[in-house]
Amino acid sequence: VRGDINWGIIGSGWACRDFAEGLKHVPGARLAGVCSRSSANAQAFAQRTGAARVYTGVSELVADPSINVVYVGTPNSLHAEHCCAALEAGKAVLCEKPFTVSAGPARRVIEMARARGLFCMEAMPMRFLPAMDRVRAMLRDGAIGELRMLSANFGFPAPYDLENRFFNPSLGGGAFLDIGVYALSLAHHVLGPPQRIAGGAALGPSGVDEQSVAILSYAGGQLAVLSASLKAHLPGDAVISGSRGEIRIAPLYRPEWVSLRMFAESGGAEPAASVGWRERAKSIPGLDIAFAGGRRLMQALRPTDTGNEHIPYEGNGFNYEAAEVMRCLHAGERESPIMPLDDTLEVMDSLDAIRDHWVAAQQS
């Protein structure tokens, strides 16, 4: 694709409005049109965002030859259907997270995109922000030594409402699928696909998880501990821990703070001031060894804080993923190396495995 890129948006809700706002910060992006189930909604959306056209339905939008790429911003349960409609019409696709409600439909969408040679990507703004460029560079440079653990969480109390997709199973609700996916996507980005998964959940009256946790274990012995809640405020951050230090990323949803803390290597030289203690400890059988070990542990636990760096993003954050889609379309790339389709599929497989775990626990 050459020149400006024409975007069509399916849906007129919160994410669609923010995405349209984000497009204003991307040079060469043009909001060609929006479709909604209601023409009043579509008109209001167009007025607010400057969308050039309104369409009465998905089939009309995807049939417009001027549209290059379709953003799918409908409830989770409709993503697969809307992605397929766009791909069938020969359009590139950017689809909101979670890509689909389970791995089966994700596989079908991905196969269709690949069979037709069309660009397709899951929208996961966090991966494209400058703060994550910094984190990737730190990890590449081995800044925290060997990777050992990752923890990530996202949660806030949401009022119980079946109209809201958070709680509605037919709209693809559930804490882990809807907001735990940010933590899970980060774990997959940093550690790859896990070897084993365990999960636990508190299910609400509609049957979806209102709070849930997952523990992922990896072939190299690493562990990831992830949590999501629609009932409680969680810190909304992530910590990647290694043999020499840790990287903290906040907020998980739109990272803009990155802090690096380095810990002394255990086994290092003791400071001179401790020698007197050591001499005294030596006189007590067995304690000399324990004392030396304890001293080293204390040193190792006292970190060198290298600062909390603010790495702001421009626009509202949605613009970076849109810019990446446009870069790929201009370069003729069918997948983004930052959010490849295999990653999306592996995340969906993990989501299925996490859910299977708590369904099995419920039945036992």
Ligand X SMILES: NC(=O)c1ccc[n+]([C@@H]2O[C@H](COP(=O)([O-])OP(=O)(O)OC[C@H]3O[C@@H](n4cnc5c(N)ncnc54)[C@H](OP(=O)(O)O)[C@@H]3O)[C@@H](O)[C@H]2O)c1
**What are the catalytic residues?**
97
Residue count (the chain) = 364
Token digits of residue 230? 């629609």
Identify the residue among 26, 68, 85, 96 touching ligand X (CB under 6 A).
Answer: 96
- At its nearest, how many Å lie between ligand X and the CB of residue 19? 8
Verify binding: residue 13, ligand X, rule CB under 6 A.
yes
Q: End-to-end CA distance of the chain: give it in Å, rounded.
A: 54
Residue 125 or 180: the one with the smaller Cβ distance to ligand X is 125
Verify binding: residue 236, ligand X, rule CB under 6 A.
no
Pick out residues in 300-339 that bind ligand X (CB under 6 A): none
Binding mask 238-277 for ligand X (x = CB under 6 A): ----------------------------------------
- Stretch in the footprint of ligand X (CB under 6 A) among 9-17, 237-245, 265-273, 307-315: 9-17
CB burial string 326-351: b at 16+ within 10 A, e below: bebbeeeebbbebbebebbbbbbbbb
Helix (H, G, I), strand (E, B) or coil at 243: coil
Residue 222 or 229: the one with the smaller Cβ distance to ligand X is 229
- Chain position whose Cβ is nearest to ligand X: 13
The helix or strand, by DSSP H or E, that contains position 61, with its residue range, turns out to be helix 58-63
Verify binding: residue 159, ligand X, rule CB under 6 A.
no
Pick out residues in 173-232 that bind ligand X (CB under 6 A): 178
Pick out residues in 39-78 that bind ligand X (CB under 6 A): 41, 73-76, 78
The rounded Cα 143 to chain-centroid distance in angstroms is: 22
- At its nearest, how many Å lie between ligand X and the CB of residue 252? 11
C-beta pairs of 11-17 under 8 Å, 24+ apart in sequence: 11/35, 11/36, 11/72, 11/73, 11/74, 12/36, 12/41, 12/42, 12/44, 12/45, 13/73, 13/74, 15/73, 15/96, 16/45, 16/71, 16/73, 17/45, 17/48, 17/49
d(CA 191, CA 188): 5
**Which stretches does DSSP call E strand in the chain?**
5-10, 29-35, 53-55, 69-72, 92-96, 120-123, 147-155, 196-203, 209-217, 223-229, 238-242, 245-250, 257-263, 303-310
- At its nearest, how many Å lie between ligand X and the CB of residue 266? 40
- At its nearest, how many Å lie between ligand X and the CB of residue 154? 11
Verify binding: residue 168, ligand X, rule CB under 6 A.
no
- At its nearest, how many Å lie between ligand X and the CB of residue 113? 18
Identify the residue among 14, 233, 283, 364 touching ligand X (CB under 6 A).
Answer: 14
108, β-bridge pairs: none
Residue 123 or 249: the one with the smaller Cβ distance to ligand X is 123
Q: Are the CB atoms for 121 and 341 separated by under 8 Å?
A: yes
Residue 122 or 349: the one with the smaller Cβ distance to ligand X is 122
- At its nearest, how many Å lie between ligand X and the CB of residue 309? 23
Verify binding: residue 97, ligand X, rule CB under 6 A.
yes
Q: Are the CB atoms for 5 and 28 separated by under 8 Å?
A: yes
Verify binding: residue 38, ligand X, rule CB under 6 A.
yes
Verify binding: residue 102, ligand X, rule CB under 6 A.
no
Q: Are the CB atoms for 134 and 258 separated by under 8 Å?
A: yes
Verify binding: residue 100, ligand X, rule CB under 6 A.
no
Angle of CA points 147, 149, 151, to nearest 5°: 135
Binders of ligand X: how many residues, by CB under 6 A?
20
Binding-site ranges for ligand X (CB under 6 A): 11-16, 36-38, 41, 73-76, 78, 96-97, 123, 125, 178
